[in-house]
Structure 1
């Protein structure tokens, strides 16, 4: 077996790697090799692979066998290419040591410049260049970067010393007024000499040895520093936030130094081949004269706009413009470039796919299609879920960062993006009352419950002290597009006093706060918000999305307003209407449901339910009207009854008075309803078995509303969903009763109305018995919130206490992502595949969808496409995200089918721009027997889905 190669060289127009090797060479390394190959001016160097980083941590931070010898070999090759030797006291080779992960992680890992300088070689550099100030400036930079990055000395220690020199020596020498800034470039040779002595003293005081004068020791220390930065807290956090998993580590790039700090004909710049904020096709960037790369990022001096370089050095600017065009054409995407000009000579130091604003992402993708650089399919793949979120959610105006810094209060978990500002209130009732008076409020709670939904709907945003991204607050807020921050544990809330404290800072009821749901930051005061307008490119690209996808996208909506909003965002029906949310819409409704719960005889319960009937009928009429011509799936009551009753003495006494019973009877009934584990208790269809009158009322409301709207010319397609079934006998009892009630109303109305009765698959037993259940159910909707809880044995509200450890790569790393946010495809996914296959084995035209939170998660949506679902259902504001993911699934599937050995056992698809014409997933009859398959092989047993070429009509309802 050949020995594994750890190091790849590039230089003098020859490179051992190329741009396709990002996983091995990292993004920066692959870019340097590729730019070398296509003839751009790139300094010579070599790249240590990401695999070495992986081995480094696996071996207890030791270099793998053979690496040292290989690095020395490639260093000698670099010295030969440049004609210089590392640490040569006459004419030293200096190198930069830079990180470079396979995925861009800007600013998260370390860089060291000017490595190879020593007390002897700095004088050789000064003599060779004839510029001693430049040589000393390079040395002070190296000592500071090596000391802070490789050895862990606080950067502030070096900055203090530099500030001291500038204040005591430079300012006095030049007579600079106290109110004016002293620039680094104002410091002369003598002052730099003194500064270097101070830096070396700082180094010795902290490390207990002198600053290393052996270049090889410096190089080994710098390489270790880059590897160690891979697991630094900020880098780990960044990967967690960006959901970057499965990456081996960072590569290390050792590159010949070129100098932008050699005087007025030198400089350094960072630029983008297009405007990263607007997406406009203009050259965008900054250039700093007489500076090294970190100076631009650090902001120590104000750079000039890139266009001004044309006036200072037209030759270099023209060369840079030509490179811009060449790289965009080569990579077919907007590029982020770093470059240095050394005494009029241009060097390219980096090219990578540039990060861009959501608005820019859409414009660049669409423009590049029009320019013929990419296909529509590639444009679709380039848009991320976060790009769509950024298009629609309001944002904090961040044009004055100092004001933001001053207003910062605390940070929680960013549950729903966007921004909201309003007055603090501590209970739902106040939120509704204040909002009714025109006040904008933020509802602050320790945690929320179904009783709070009225106040949550009225509030601009929600802030809770507990919970995770799938807690009640997060799930409900996400459905309404409400900015929400949860798990803010530093909040000390006192409901009685109407305050919350963060340390010494106290916020009172009525005080303004501002939430940034994108970061989890909470700010004091009323900050300015801005609302981005969706660009034309968004509409254009989403039209391409809708032409290619085969998976329909519905919404989870409980009110006519939600339904209308979702339809505006592209929803093709409602996949989940939660009837219990309607009960909390007013005091009158909540009182009626509580009266029904307290009643101890059938007639009293019917009387209370009769009060709810007109409200529910009216709600359904509004929803059917909003969804004219589109299917609406309505879930019958699901939560346990104890969630609807008050649990405090004041509330219980008020209920007793309102319904005319004794306080003791209310207390007794509440105690009877208490459940040790309500998730597994008396809820869902079990309530209808015990109290069939609840089912009667809800079905009456649904079908009456459907008949009423049909008479008004509205096309109504109701689908009645019975939740939490565990057996076909149980479902048959309720399906029969549902049809008896519904058919009687339809017959009385004298109109024709078609409706469906199906079930929500959310208990593992239901998935296992899906073939039996499908003999009764006309459709399945997988409720993956509960299915995940019951399959994994985890409560989504309590798992937040330990689940992060299961995702954290530094700890257990059991899951790649939170299974309540992104579907557990191996476990829960196995049950879903089985449920679909068994269900369609007895009912080939079984309609199948998903209505859990996973319906708005891109990875989960793609899974739903692969297993042959008809639709996914997501919260209104995530409908566009689901549409995008459904289209991306088609493109990815087609691309995979074209690769040899990548079709997972499926027949190869015809080559086309997208995919062959779609075949319907309805009516398809998979194998009747379900095999015991592994998670990895189960995908091959999934029903096939095919996309359509862009331009054909989407007829799949």
Structure 2
């Protein structure tokens, strides 16, 4: 039989090989602190193995365990010099239940086990404080009866109130010992009446009863539900730890506190925390703010508080030692009893994303960890919170709906139901929130001028979500509990109706929709975050580019460290108000001549756009995708808009409606788009290529930096398709260079987003200078799922365990990922120097980036506000691969999983 009980005291602890499994988080942590020779109250832990043994005899504890508990108590008596049920200096115990993973529903802590009608008098005499002794006894009676007999604590309040009235106390509790004795007597009578049994007066029987009831709490409904939800095995089991009581609530020489090894406001080493004297809240008195460890002698608050009743230098030393052991900022729970300090729990300290960055930098500066380890300490996705506005105070806010957190950050503004209304309000200097059932490509300009976007339908990969993340706007999608009546201009939330102009706030990090405005702040962490990014840039291999079409997006991306543009979607440039008419004239033209005339109007706009992007990127690569979406997306929708456009173009509404109908497709995603448009209408390619090449020459003259444009052909599935389009691009390049008298270097590649393109990647690589895997459409075509409709069922798939994660957010490694790896292998077999990247949504997802690093891609491209996320994730992926090959490069112990909670 394995050892049932393990003891611990300062400087010595019995620790099994898997202490966390055997002793639970509480017991393992106390054993660790004791082994490190730190001051802990002596005690013992009954192991999870003993629980499993007892589970086979559920009606009573096994005889062997009862004997072992008696032996452990005798050991504790020898260590403390106190005796369980002793006539002098009685031993009292605190009994705590725990498991490897904290589980709600397990037994609460029972304090003062060992108090009875005799020992309470002995403790009162020893301490010279009858009030404290009897308060402790009252607390013990309530907690013991609650755990062992299942008596509701509220019933004791009724008994207490009845005795207060009968006794005629002057205060809120007994003031004299005889009054306390009467209350205790009444408690005993009540317990026996309700439970049918008296409370045991034998301390050992009290302890065994608490242990047995603690064991039984594993089967409580709440604990069962939690284990089922989190996949914790039924036989994982719990442990019970008992240690000598610390009288930390008696007077101003006692108290409870929590200490940290770092000042989280600066990340620097400093003893910080809070302490409550004599039973007061531990948040009332803070200490150590800004003071370095080793320089604190005591603390007070404006002289109003007494000095810390223990050796604060010792506390600082203990906390610093734990930080060195864990290699991370720690948080320590401690108690002071009669000026003696005890540690009860330690853990790696919880922290906000901003604090995590500060602390990582601080640990590097103190030479506890190296730069690589600092990078690994950061959750890349948490950086989103540092780059977007956040709500300051939520206490008084009224949440009227909730959707999906589609793009991080918070925004307040007046409701606008249409793009036109949003543009008008923004032009008047008002902040607006664009509210739509769902957004479409023609809403892009309204989205740009809005502070945030709210849609009733759609998921986290819908049009609204993707665009919002790209332009750095907060977005909530799929807020299905809200109702939008566009015709009446009303947004309804239950009985509440809101109209255009009413103010709401959206939180794209939580998915909440809030009535009225909210106070917002943008965290400022430029210094530490910049240093962390420097660390990441030294560690990563992959280049991080951005998806950007506008100068604002490009500048934001450059500020966040983007190393070029990996995807410029030219169709977004055509949706701006002054360009839509020319685009529509091109689409509606009856022949090629008419199309070329309309395209001639668009050429200066495109050229100007590209010049600005090239200048902002200052010689960095810029990948421009040729026109991709089907043409009908640019045409008017609805009778009113059709009538307006017909009047503008001088044609009959019926004729325009008929033309639109002919262009509409049953499945546009797989229809007349991408390179298919370029082959049907090569004049579109020729004008876009001319705009690119002329802009490159002009930008190079202005900036002096060499510009090498990369032209990406979308939706290629056949090598012949790329041959055709590339030939037209090359012809235009030769014409422009001849006209301008200047040579120009450029590259032509393709977006790989069809399974056939991957299967034929070796052949396509004969023509392409680069591949960019478009994981959005590749995921759609591999799964046969529409990204815009997937939100209707993918959440159900996740909930039922069919899939682990939405494949549109994180790459499906086994399916889509396997194809990408195949495409990489086939392309490099044909052309070893081909440049390979990713420009889909997964380009900013840390888990996907880890896979792309393993696959050997050269770059990822993501929305501007995800560039820092991608830089950190790319560095982490490279570090992990390097460590798997060479071993870790951590200066200290690194981040060890603490034994505490």
Aligned twin of 1:662: 652
Aligned twin of 1:426: 417
Query: 1:860 aligned to 848, 869, 874, which one?
Result: 848
**Which whole-Å CA distance do the structure 1 matches of 2:679 and 2:381 have between them?**
43
Aligned twin of 1:218: 213
1:618 and 2:608 matched = yes
- The CA deviation at 1:368 is 1.9
Equivalent positions of 1:93-112 (< 5 A) are 94-99=93-98, 109=104, 112=107
**Which whole-Å CA distance do the structure 2 matches of 1:892 and 1:189 have between them?**
68
Give the 3-state SS of the residue equivalent to 2:579 in structure 1: helix
Change in CA separation of 1:34 and 1:688 when aligned onto 2, cut-off 3 Å:
same
**Which whole-Å CA distance do the structure 2 matches of 1:196 and 1:783 have between them?**
77
For residues 786-844 of structure 1, the C-alpha deviation after alignment (integer angstroms, 9 at most, x for no partner) is 22222233333322233233334xxx334433322222222221111111011100000
- Is the Cα contact below 8 Å between 1:96 and 1:112 reproduced in 2? no
Q: CA RMSD in A?
A: 4.4
Aligned twin of 1:874: 862
Change in CA separation of 1:650 and 1:849 when aligned onto 2, cut-off 3 Å:
same
Aligned twin of 1:566: 557
Aligned twin of 1:548: 539
For residues 751-798 of structure 1, the C-alpha deviation after alignment (integer angstroms, 9 at most, x for no partner) is 111111111111222222211211121111111112222223333332
- Is the Cα contact below 8 Å between 2:111 and 2:245 reproduced in 1? no
Aligned twin of 2:772: 781
- Is the Cα contact below 8 Å between 1:97 and 1:223 reproduced in 2? no
Q: Give ranges in structure 1 of 5+ residues lacking alignment.
A: 57-61, 175-181, 240-244, 900-910, 915-957
Query: 1:325 aligned to 300, 307, 320, which one?
Result: 320
- The CA deviation at 1:478 is 1.1
Change in CA separation of 1:406 and 1:573 when aligned onto 2, cut-off 3 Å:
closer
- The CA deviation at 1:422 is 1.4
Structure with higher Rg: it is: 2
Give the 3-state SS of the residue equivalent to 2:429 in structure 1: coil
Query: 1:272 aligned to 249, 256, 260, which one?
Result: 260
Change in CA separation of 1:38 and 1:742 when aligned onto 2, cut-off 3 Å:
same
**Which whole-Å CA distance do the structure 2 matches of 1:471 and 1:52 have between them?**
53
For residues 539-565 of structure 1, the C-alpha deviation after alignment (integer angstroms, 9 at most, x for no partner) is 222222212221111111111221111
Change in CA separation of 1:641 and 1:189 when aligned onto 2, cut-off 3 Å:
farther
Equivalent positions of 1:635-654 (< 5 A) are 635-654=625-644
Aligned twin of 2:293: none
Aligned twin of 1:944: none
Tell me which moved more, 617-626 or 887-896.
887-896
**Which whole-Å CA distance do the structure 2 matches of 1:877 and 1:262 have between them?**
54
**Which whole-Å CA distance do the structure 1 matches of 2:368 and 2:266 have between them?**
19
Aligned twin of 1:684: 674
- Is the Cα contact below 8 Å between 1:26 and 1:251 reproduced in 2? yes
Query: 2:713 aligned to 713, 722, 728, which one?
Result: 722
For residues 672-694 of structure 1, the C-alpha deviation after alignment (integer angstroms, 9 at most, x for no partner) is 33333333333222222223222
Equivalent positions of 1:923-942 (< 5 A) are none
- The CA deviation at 1:45 is 4.0
Give the 3-state SS of the residue equivalent to 1:894 in structure 2: helix
**Which whole-Å CA distance do the structure 2 matches of 1:94 and 1:714 have between them?**
76
Aligned twin of 2:431: 440
Aligned twin of 1:343: 338
Larger RCO (CA within 8 A; separation ≥ 6)? 2
- The CA deviation at 1:340 is 2.0
Change in CA separation of 1:675 and 1:248 when aligned onto 2, cut-off 3 Å:
farther
1:528 and 2:519 matched = yes
1:31 and 2:29 matched = yes
**Which whole-Å CA distance do the structure 2 matches of 1:203 and 1:717 have between them?**
88
Tell me which moved more, 490-499 or 186-195.
186-195
Aligned twin of 2:872: 884
For residues 740-761 of structure 1, the C-alpha deviation after alignment (integer angstroms, 9 at most, x for no partner) is 2233222322111111111111
Give the 3-state SS of the residue equivalent to 1:701 in structure 2: helix
Change in CA separation of 1:122 and 1:760 when aligned onto 2, cut-off 3 Å:
farther
For residues 135-167 of structure 1, the C-alpha deviation after alignment (integer angstroms, 9 at most, x for no partner) is 665577678879999999999x68996998999
| TM-score relative to the length of structure 2 | 0.84
Aligned twin of 1:516: 507
- Is the Cα contact below 8 Å between 2:174 and 2:180 reproduced in 1? no
Aligned twin of 1:674: 664
Aligned twin of 2:575: 584
Query: 2:243 aligned to 234, 239, 256, which one?
Result: 256
Give the 3-state SS of the residue equivalent to 2:170 in structure 1: helix
- Is the Cα contact below 8 Å between 2:144 and 2:210 reproduced in 1? no
Aligned twin of 2:701: 711
Aligned twin of 1:834: 822
For residues 181-230 of structure 1, the C-alpha deviation after alignment (integer angstroms, 9 at most, x for no partner) is x8x9999996898799899999999x999999832442123344598277
Equivalent positions of 1:195-234 (< 5 A) are 214-225=209-220, 228=223, 231=226
Change in CA separation of 1:32 and 1:563 when aligned onto 2, cut-off 3 Å:
same
Equivalent positions of 1:370-385 (< 5 A) are 370-385=365-380
**Which whole-Å CA distance do the structure 1 matches of 2:406 and 2:805 have between them?**
15
Change in CA separation of 1:714 and 1:376 when aligned onto 2, cut-off 3 Å:
closer
Q: Give ranges in structure 2 of 5+ residues lacking alignment.
A: 201-205, 289-297, 892-901
**Which whole-Å CA distance do the structure 2 matches of 1:34 and 1:770 have between them?**
56
- The CA deviation at 1:121 is 5.1
Aligned twin of 2:897: none
- Is the Cα contact below 8 Å between 1:277 and 1:357 reproduced in 2? no
Change in CA separation of 1:4 and 1:557 when aligned onto 2, cut-off 3 Å:
farther
- The CA deviation at 1:123 is 3.9
- The CA deviation at 1:78 is 4.7
- The CA deviation at 1:34 is 2.3
| TM-score relative to the length of structure 1 | 0.79
- Is the Cα contact below 8 Å between 2:22 and 2:239 reproduced in 1? no
**Which whole-Å CA distance do the structure 2 matches of 1:68 and 1:597 have between them?**
84
Aligned twin of 2:76: 82
**Which whole-Å CA distance do the structure 2 matches of 1:566 and 1:172 have between them?**
71
Give the 3-state SS of the residue equivalent to 2:259 in structure 1: strand
Aligned twin of 2:45: 46
